[in-house]
Amino acid sequence: MLLIHLAGRLLYTNIKNTMTQFSKIMFAGLLLSATAVACNNDNKSTQGSDSTKMVSNDSTMASTVVESADNCYDYIKTRDTASLKLHVQGQEVTGDLSYRLFEKDSNKGTIAGVIKGDTIIAEYTFDAEGMRSVREIVFLKKDGKLYEGYGDTEEKGVKVMFKNRSALKFDSGLVFYKTACK
């Protein structure tokens, strides 16, 4: 009987130790699972409110790079001169324009407008004879030169505009040749 009691006690101790180790392993596993779940829940809850999260750049939706360039043009004929400096950014154009025509008041100002195909349509704001004026200007770009358009004009408010842009003539106006910008 003592032998059975000792064998039972030994078996009980082994089972108890095994159960304790098993419990420790199970507890550790349970703790790791709970930590993993908590970490995943934290990521999910902060993803919605994180304004710095990375977003893939879909090149099909990316905007086109807008090219910009500066170009300079001069008109020189006997005693008449004119200078034009253009800053082109995409389809928009701005710049400086000055006329020094013999026996006429010189004027100097700025232009702002758009490029449509081979045509620049802009407003020229300038000072002449002590007054500020605005008039529409149109240039046709051909063979690296700019041909200034001329035609019938009319006053619209404080601006002088062409009556009909499609009727403009480019063969008898000033021709600006591309030059190096100064």
Among 134, 137, 117, 116, CA closest to 125: 134
**Burial (0-12, 13-18, 19+ Cβ within 10 Å), 134:** middle
Please calculate the CA angle 108-132-157 and round it to the nearest 5 degrees.
125
Using DSSP, state whether 120 is helix, strand or coil: strand
For residue 173, the model assigns a pLDDT of: 87
For residue 12, the model assigns a pLDDT of: 56
Mean pLDDT per 10-residue interval, the chain, length 182 residues: 51 54 54 48 45 36 61 94 96 96 89 96 89 94 95 94 95 93 87
For residue 104, the model assigns a pLDDT of: 85
For residue 82, the model assigns a pLDDT of: 96
For residue 58, the model assigns a pLDDT of: 38
CA 109 to chain centre: 28
For residue 103, the model assigns a pLDDT of: 86
Domain boundaries in the chain?
1-41, 68-179
For residue 66, the model assigns a pLDDT of: 57
Q: Please identify, in words, the CATH class of the domain defined by 68-179.
A: mainly beta
Question: What pTM value is reported for the model?
Answer: 0.63
